[in-house]
Chains A and B, each alone.
Chain A
Amino acid sequence: MQFFYDGQIRRYITQVVRVFSNFVVKYGDGTLHRIPVMYGDPDRQVASIIRQNSENKVNSVPRIAVYITSLALARDRVSDQSFVGKVHIRERGIDPTTGIYNHDQGKNYTIERLMPTPFDLTFKVDIWSSSTEQKLQILEQILVLFNPSLELQTTDNYIDWTSLSVLDLTDINWSSRQVPVGTDTPNEVATLTLKTPIWINPPVKVKHLGVITKIITGINGNTATSGTYIEGLGIDPIAETTSMSDFIDVVVTTIKNYKIEVYASTVILLEAGATTDPREPTIDPAPAKVGGSIDWVNVFDVYPGKYIAGSSRIYLTQPDGSQIVGFIAVDPVDSSILRVNWNPDTLVSNTGIDSQGHLDNNPSYNASSSYRPNSTGTIDAIINPQTYNPLDPTNQGTVTTPSVGTRFLLVEDIGSSLNGTDGAEAWEGTTSGELIAKANDIIEWTGSQWNVIFSASQYPDTMVWQTNIYTGVQYLWNGVSWNKSFDGIYKIGQWRIEL
């Protein structure tokens, strides 16, 4: 068992001492004298130090001593011992420069508090006075506070659900003396007996804010219960299992029910029915939200955690169930735009294409025999073959030969069988061969000629991922066109953020 101690009973004693502190008595000359209040069970050494280790030191009167006489479990206040009370707290931010609170939202937490154990704590308060009149002065000041109880608070911490209690005055012993006094005159001590209901708490759990950000509601039909009928006993409730079938629908609800539009490294928020212009993902320009933009602060305010630029994350759920992760930062100019640095390790794996045009799911696929055996899922650039000259990419009149294995994704057709042997010279091989390719095809330089290694028209039902090394952007062939692999609109439940 790990050690924990919070000084909880100690705080009750401290507060009781406080309750009885600062009372005064008035002497005959009109001066007021404060009454010291101390704990009534001192250590002998400390008591000796207080009187300076001298028998000549004189005790002062009046005095008030507070001490505990009993601590008993309060069975009448025992509650569900397994109950965990939660409180969700959002702190204010702290200016890192000045170190003082600012007006912004800071960290946020969920505090879990286990049901404390109730006790009844009994104090005795001994009041030593030097005369009857002095005792009356003290008691009149104190007793007026109990009507019938006096509020007691051990902390002002908002999450401490047991800090508030009361002091009940249960008994008053008027005097420790007896009448008649007799030959010896003992000290005059009046005693108040106080009872206070207290609780002793285990430590709490301080967690990140644990509010629910997504609710998935599945609707199924035809529930079936397994047959666990036992003759004479009925259905065994433990062994009974219920299975659901006939999946009908699923509804996902998030905090704000926003969807998002992902475009390259930017993300914008859309309401449930909102659209963008243009409606489909494009390479350029970026789609813009139709209607007023939505500030990302709307989301950050209500999600657990504290937004930290460059460290908070966004997750995009892909059709295959994988998730693409990016680090986010709100655009400093337009806070409705989220700038994302996508983590390339989380992207969907590229589809390998060997130099013979086999995809990596083809048994004949052989990457090692390819002209770029170590990077068969990438292309070097996306080009328009009708304007791009592979022999002079920079248009400076300097003829250069492409590296063996260079791959390009074409956005336009090039070459035609109608041209015979007189096609575009820039795409001709060194020995022979005209390049005839269509838009969306991928071509590769073998060292002597360009070959089409991916003919888009042959894959109308296959998804193929390729990363453009030139931009670092991954593209997806969806059977119709190449798109950025994860751009587009993500519906409710298909994205989430972690602050």
Chain B
Amino acid sequence: MNNAGLESSIYEELRGYSEALNRYLIKLKTEPANARFTPPKEVAELIQGLSENFPGEVSMQLLSSGLRERGAFPLVRVKRLRTALDSGASSRETIQDLEELAQYLGRHQAGAFARLRRTR
């Protein structure tokens, strides 16, 4: 009943999303500009989860409530990103949105890891 279980599952979930998101970003940045890519399942799930009010994963709950509190990444932007990813076409704007999301995810991951270290 200590926090380690909760924190490790949050960290692992965030790490999984971060892994997929950063790899996807690398692909978008290094492949030809007109290439079309379907986002990996984890990225699609991340964007979907962020647009839900009550996601099933604890990590997603933290992310989405945090995003909304900050106000910097409002729901309308999440939805715009979702539409862009569904179409498979990448634009400068989409990449910028994904970069901000990856940055935000990284900050949450750092927090989860620090808490995990304290609990172990």
A and B are partners in one complex rather than unrelated chains: no
Residues of A within 8 A of B (CB): none
